[in-house]
């Protein structure tokens, strides 16, 4: 393995570790939310239970992502509002994907609808990871605290801008 390849691999490790933590935290909250909606819907209308669980799970997931996924010192209501905005964008994206599917095929099979939904959710999740890492949590403070320059992040603002 050449030196540049080793450096790129070493630079990607923190990014991949953060993504793995993001998936585990988000997936765990998603599973808990699913159970909570089912339990609460026995005592209140499903739409109310879903709305309540969505708000609570977004706050919980944001804190988990802040502390575990991105290990960021940033916090407060601004972070929660920015995170909620990424959830809203993800919702619009997945809903748009399903609306497009139903526009093209008015009666898709459940397997096709689930495939489109899960694919859109996966893409939205990757997009949400990038937004949370670069914009919401920014990781600049963490890098400086450990003695590294802020531009050492594997996925910083400059690398995302260059990728676009």
What is the per-residue pLDDT across 15-34, written as a single tens digit (0 to 9) for each?
Answer: 999 999 999 999 999 999 98
pLDDT tens digits, residue range 56-88?
999 999 999 999 999 999 889 999 999 999 999
pTM (2 d.p.): 0.74
Section 105-128 average pLDDT: 93
Residues contacting 66, CB < 8 A, separation 6+ = 72, 74, 75, 79, 137
Indicate the domain borders of the chain.
3-163
pLDDT surpasses 70 at 158: no
**pLDDT for position 98:** 93
């Amino acid at each position: 393995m050449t030196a540049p390849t080793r450096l790129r691999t070493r630079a990607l490790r923190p990014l991949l570790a953060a993504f793995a933590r993001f998936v585990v935290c988000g997936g765990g909250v998603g599973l808990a939310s699913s159970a909570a909606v089912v339990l609460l819907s026995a005592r209140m209308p499903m739409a109310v239970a879903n709305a309540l669980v969505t708000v609570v799970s977004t706050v919980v997931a944001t804190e988990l992502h802040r502390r575990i996924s991105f290990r960021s010192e940033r916090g407060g209501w601004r972070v929660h509002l920015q995170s909620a905005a990424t959830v809203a964008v993800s919702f619009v994206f997945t809903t748009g994907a399903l609306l497009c599917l139903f526009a093209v095929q008015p009666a898709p099979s459940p397997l096709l609808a689930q495939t489109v939904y899960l694919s859109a959710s996966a893409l939205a999740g990757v997009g949400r990871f990038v937004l949370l890492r670069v914009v919401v949590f920014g990781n600049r403070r963490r890098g400086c605290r450990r003695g590294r320059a802020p531009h050492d992040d594997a996925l910083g603002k400059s690398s995302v801008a260059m990728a676009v």
